[in-house]
Amino acid sequence: MLYINCPHCGMRSQNEFSYGGDASVKRPELNKEVSDQEWDNFVYNRKSLRGKHLELWQHISGCRQWIKVERDTATHEIFRTFKSDEEVA
């Protein structure tokens, strides 16, 4: 079970969180013309990469904040965690 550092609450076990997928996906702006391909990429197409991955988790049984977690999908190592509005350098 992963041990995730919630930037708001501290170290918490994975069973307090729910997974939210790739954090690098950007929703196309509202009221903007979006091509089929662009929309497809936003809704369906994910890289499923091996290695460092920036992903979303919600601290659902805690502060209910969505956070960003930089995790290695192969080793499960967590490098850094970020608040939802924090810039990831």
Partner 1 sequence: MTQAFRIENGGLINRHKKLSFKFNGKTYLGYEGDTLASALLANGVHLVGRSFKYHRPRGFFGAGVDEPYAVVQLFRNGETEPNIKATEQELFEGLEAKSVNCWPSVNFDIGAINNFLKIFLPAGFYYKTFMWPKSFWYRIYEPFIRKAAGLGVASTKHDKERYEHKYEYCDLLIAGSGPSGLASAYAAAKNGAKVILAEDKPRFGGSLLTSDVNIGNQSGKDWADGIVAELKTMPNVVVKNRSQIFGYYDHNMLVMSEKVSDHLPSTKKYHPNKRLWYIRAKEVLISSGSIERPIVFGNNDTPGVMLSSAAKEYLKVYSVLVGRKPLVFTNNDSGYETAIEFKKHGVDPVVLDSRKNSESEIIDEAKNLGINIKNSYVVVAAQGYKKVKSADIASISEDKKQLGKIENIQCDCICVSGFWTPTIHLASQSGNKTKFKEEIDAFVTGQSKQNEITLGAANGVFSLEETLKTSFTAGSELSKKITENDNKIPIPNVVEKKSSQHDKFWCVPLPKGKNYKRFLDFQNDVAVSDVEIALREGYRSIEHVKRYTTLGMATDQGKTSNLNGLQLVSEIENKVVPAVGHTTFRPPYTPVSIGAIVGREVGKHSKPTRKSPMHSWHEKNNAVFVDAGVWLRPRYYKRGNENLFEGSKREAKNVRTNVGVCDVTTLGKIDIKGPDAAELLNRVYTNAWLKLPVGKARYGLMLREDGIVMDDGTTTRISENHYHMTTTTAQAANVLSHLEYYLQLVWPELNVNVVSTTEQWAGAAIAGPKSRDLLQKLFPNSDVSNEGLPFMGYMEGDLFGVKARIYRISFSGELAYEVNVESDYGNFMWEKIIEVGEEFNIQPYGTEALSTLRIEMGHVAGSELDGRTIPFDNALEGLVSKKKDFIGKRSLQRSAFIAKDRQRIVGVVPLDKQTSIPEGSHLVKDDKAPLPNPKLGHISASCWSVEYDNPFSLAILKDGKNMIGQKLFAMSPLKNKIIPVEIVSSHYVDPKGERVRS
1, 48, 51, 89: which one contacts partner 1 (CB under 8 A)? 1
d(CA 37, CA 34): 8
d(CA 18, CA 70): 15
Task: Check binding of 9 to Zn ion (CB under 5 A).
Answer: yes
17, 23, 53, 59: which one contacts Zn ion (CB under 5 A)? 59
8, 9, 16, 20: which one contacts partner 1 (CB under 8 A)? 20
Task: Check binding of 13 to partner 1 (CB under 8 A).
Answer: yes
| Spatial CB neighbours of 32, under 8 Å, sequence gap ≥ 6 | none
